[in-house]
Amino acid sequence: MFDHLGIGVTSLAESRSFFLKALQPLGVSVAMEGPHSVGIGRNGKPSLWLCESSEKPTHLHIAITAQNRMEVGAFYEAALAAGGKDNGPPGLRPHYHANYYGAFVIGPDGHNIEAVCHLPA
């Protein structure tokens, strides 16, 4: 449904660093960059735009697809190392569905960032 998503951040430098480190295990890197924004994604396509804003951004929940459960764990460790706060360690979430395996981290602006794999182990 979505081609790309843009979110406001209070510090572009801090959020750029956090998201690139946290999402590196999922194959995400800088796709495009401007003076006040950065587009990150896979294979050179910007799927998530971070735009510096003087307004306090509303907290969002963003879930990024992982190829397997190991990537979910790698994301979680990388995100914590990048300064994220734990919001749910890697594990099954059977209340969503039997194979829902995710991990959740709060980023610099309070956004709930998740990596999720829907495949069976």
pLDDT tens readout for residues 79-94 = 999 999 999 999 999 9
Do the Cβ atoms of 25 and 3 come closer than 8 Å? Answer: no
Look at residue 58 in the predicted model and tell me its pLDDT: 86
Place of tokens 């981290």: 105
Q: In angstroms, rounded to a whole number, what is the distance separating the alpha carbons of residues 33 and 49?
A: 9
Strand partners, 37: 51
Please tell me the pTM assigned to this model. Answer: 0.93
Look at residue 108 in the predicted model and tell me its pLDDT: 96
Look at residue 2 in the predicted model and tell me its pLDDT: 84
Look at residue 121 in the predicted model and tell me its pLDDT: 84
Look at residue 33 in the predicted model and tell me its pLDDT: 95
pLDDT by residue (tens digit) across 36-63?
999 999 999 999 999 999 988 788 999 9
Query: What are the helix and strand counts (H, E) for the chain?
Result: 2, 9
What confidence tier does 15 reach under pLDDT thresholds 50, 70, 90? very high
Mean pLDDT score of the chain, rounded to an integer? 96
Look at residue 22 in the predicted model and tell me its pLDDT: 98
Around 17, how many Cα atoms within 13 Å sit in the side-chain half-sphere? 10
Burial zone of 81 (CB within 10 Å; 0-12 exposed, 13-18 middle, 19+ buried): exposed
Tell me how far CA of residue 82 lies from CA of 5, 75, 88, in angstroms.
22, 10, 16
Tell me how far CA of residue 104 lies from CA of 18, 23, 33, 114, 121, in angstroms.
14, 12, 26, 4, 19
Look at residue 41 in the predicted model and tell me its pLDDT: 97
